[in-house]
Structure 1
Amino acid sequence: MNRESPESGTSPSAAVPPPTPAADRQRVLLVTGMLGAGKTTALRVLEDLGWEIIDNFPVRLLDRLIERSPAAEGSPRPPLAIGFDCRTRGFDPARVIAQVKALDEREDVELNTLFLDCSSKELERRFNETRRRHALAADAPVDTGIRAERELLAPLRRWADLLVETTEFTSNDLQRVIRERFATEAPEDLTLTVSSFGFSRGMPPLADLVFDMRFVENPHWDPVLRPMTGLDAPVGDYVRQDPAFNEAFTRIRDLLLLLLPRYRTQGKAYVHVAFGCTGGRHRSVFTAELMAAALRDAGFSPTLLHRNLGSRAADLLEGGQRREK
């Protein structure tokens, strides 16, 4: 920033304070969005990550909250997350944006805005499921309040640095996104997750690589194997007997061994590899277990998750009637 020196003759370098070192800047994240889109979950995860958390803060007092004094030597200020929404007293999106613009000019503050959004239909479902009343609906139907809130927040949504759409997210999905993007310390190495899931219960929204194992003969149609899972040896033997399985598995393994080191080199911190079958209990579970073991042998440390392993086996999920070979 260029400033003219005062008439007293003080030099420009004396008049302008030196830039604040990046390590001493106060990191601030404003967390807002549609009611029911996940603000509480996001703030809870940020708190677990070491952020200081303030929810439902009167945004008009934002500039007073953020200290101007530098952090004490040896005691860097923790990052600060401030949650607010349409229920916050004196909430005015235009005023919030004006305050953010003013704070952006300060050299001692690094400020970003996270907006959590969700489809109106899904928000309506969540409100009806929890029997909560929308803050802007009064005695009207919940969709009336959602429409009013969306119109009110539109300027702030356009302004936000980061938009997270949570329509298809579970609570765990949102937690993972927040951890990936706002952890104060980056993981030292690639964080690898290998999972299984059932297509009949929806695809995992955050998987980086998805492999469909439904080309393999389905153990579900064997009455002996049906109550078992991919963790049981007879199911694994059945899957291995499919003529296409071994070659497909080898090609997928080799592809992962090619890609994962390149992801690591490019600085990607998290990779989620998902294997799916119809119900998520047999073929995908066995393949995920086998792939995790192969990746461990190659020097990786994958976390193994089985999303639908505990789900009830159901003929309707597996296609109704038995398919003839």
Structure 2
Amino acid sequence: MTEQDRDGVADVSTGESKETVEGAAAAADGKSTERTGGEPVEETVPEPAIPELVIISGMSGAGRSTAAKCLEDLGWFVVDNLPPALIPTMVELGARSQGNVARIAVVVDVRGRRFFDNLRESLADLDAKQVTRRIVFLESSDEALVRRFESVRRPHPLQGDGRIVDGIEAERDLLRELRGDADLVIDTSSLNVHELRAKMDAQFAGDEEPELRATVMSFGYKYGLPVDADLVVDCRFLPNPHWVPELRPFTGLNEEVSGYVFNQPGAKEFLDRYTELLELIAGGYRREGKRYVTVAVGCTGGKHRSVAMSEKLGARLAAEGIETVVVHRDLGRE
């Protein structure tokens, strides 16, 4: 192999005749070729397959890069920070790839009004060509975004000489219309990287029959409800181990606390009945194609009752064949 081959540059020393090369080019254009001394032979060129397109956009710091990496791991052809005006060209190139590029994901960073106008024009062009497209919009609360920018010690791209919150406000205003057009909006305020990847995987993992994945998340009501909860369970009807001096230092992960919680009247019955309810709901979710459900289990501080109940509930769901992750959002927050 020549150095040019290794660099991805075509080797022009093929030894093919000019007529052969011209004939191949004509066939690529859908034209007829001619055998030497014979009649023209019509070449049948299949219609190019238009790739499926996903446009990833949203707030800076909300997880666009993580979402893109997830799609890349699923086999999508991912292009980061592509100018919106070039999206139709990218789709056209994919259509010419003879099926090698069947799914394209484009990360669009809309940081100016002109870029936004270009995106609107590109979307109209794609719709006119009947391209199957979806817009995934990633958002997060102002507090979460400020915390993320401060943790990496980087300014917001739109803050200029102002504060981080000024940049966030400017970007949110700029993207308001795009968010309204999105096919899928993911709030990453309380998601970690693994949870965001799970949500993306649930939406784009493939055409096979979707498996329902559950996240059981304990939380404390005094810290607010989880923004991405599909179902909320309230454990505050059970006595609080916080008021038992010997149990106060421990959490619901400890046998002493868990035993105390489930020895209370109604605790085991509640777990049994709610498990049955979730099994019923899970069947409906599967039929509707929903792949991911978050069950939030709350108590006052998210330390004792909700943690113990989440652990038991997660184990029950896993035993029923539901892929389950148990997360304790507020554990250790005190």
Q: TM-score range by the shorter chain?
A: 0.7 to 0.9
Aligned to 1:77: 101
User: C-alpha displacement at 1:83, in angstroms?
Assistant: 1.3
Aligned to 2:22: none
Quick one: which amino acid aligns to residue 249 of structure 1?
A: L
Aligned to 2:118: 95
- 5+ unaligned residues in a row in structure 1: which ranges? 1-16, 315-325
User: C-alpha displacement at 1:225, in angstroms?
Assistant: 2.3
Distance in structure 2 (CA, Å) of the matches to 1:133 and 1:262? 45
8 Å contact from structure 1 (residues 197, 277) kept in 2: yes
Is residue 2:307 matched to residue 1:285? yes
Quick one: which amino acid aligns to residue 82 of structure 1?
A: V
User: C-alpha displacement at 1:119, in angstroms?
Assistant: 4.9
Q: Which of these residues, 98, 104, 121, is aligned with residue 127 of structure 2?
A: 104
Aligned to 2:36: none
Distance 1:291 1:101, change over 3 A: same
Quick one: which amino acid aligns to residue 208 of structure 1?
A: D
Aligned to 1:303: 324
Distance in structure 2 (CA, Å) of the matches to 1:309 and 1:136? 32
Is residue 2:230 matched to residue 1:208? yes
Distance in structure 1 (CA, Å) of the matches to 2:140 and 2:121? 25
Distance 1:255 1:81, change over 3 A: same
Matched-pair identity in %: 38
Is residue 2:71 matched to residue 1:50? no
Q: Deviations over 1:80-115 (max 9, x none)?
A: 211121358x952112211221122225x4223233
Quick one: which amino acid aligns to residue 65 of structure 2?
A: T
Distance in structure 2 (CA, Å) of the matches to 1:160 and 1:267? 19
8 Å contact from structure 1 (residues 58, 91) kept in 2: no
Distance 1:136 1:276, change over 3 A: closer
Q: Deviations over 1:108-156 (max 9, x none)?
A: x422323334455654554455442233333234444444434444454
Distance in structure 2 (CA, Å) of the matches to 1:309 and 1:141? 29
- Measured on the aligned residues, the alpha-carbon RMSD in Å equals 3.3
Distance in structure 2 (CA, Å) of the matches to 1:36 and 1:68? 29
Q: Deviations over 1:247-281 (max 9, x none)?
A: 32333233223332333333332233332223333
Distance in structure 2 (CA, Å) of the matches to 1:240 and 1:119? 36
Quick one: which amino acid aligns to residue 54 of structure 1?
A: V
Moved more, 214-223 or 79-88: 79-88
Partner SS for 1:50? coil
Quick one: which amino acid aligns to residue 311 of structure 1?
A: G
Q: Which of these residues, 60, 79, 83, is aligned with residue 85 of structure 2?
A: 60
Quick one: which amino acid aligns to residue 285 of structure 1?
A: V
Distance in structure 2 (CA, Å) of the matches to 1:39 and 1:56? 10
User: C-alpha displacement at 1:186, in angstroms?
Assistant: 4.7
Distance 1:167 1:249, change over 3 A: closer
Runs of 4+ in 1 over 6 A off after TM superposition: 17-20
Distance in structure 2 (CA, Å) of the matches to 1:219 and 1:289? 16
Moved more, 24-33 or 300-309: 300-309
8 Å contact from structure 1 (residues 208, 271) kept in 2: yes
Q: Deviations over 1:187-230 (max 9, x none)?
A: 54322333433334443333322211121112233232233333
Aligned to 1:39: 64
Q: Which of these residues, 238, 244, 250, is aligned with residue 222 of structure 1?
A: 244
Structure with higher Rg: it is: 2
Is residue 2:256 matched to residue 1:231? no
Quick one: which amino acid aligns to residue 129 of structure 2?
A: R
Distance in structure 2 (CA, Å) of the matches to 1:65 and 1:138? 32
Quick one: which amino acid aligns to residue 116 of structure 2?
A: P
Quick one: which amino acid aligns to residue 43 of structure 1?
A: A
User: C-alpha displacement at 1:159, in angstroms?
Assistant: 4.0
Distance in structure 2 (CA, Å) of the matches to 1:284 and 1:120? 27
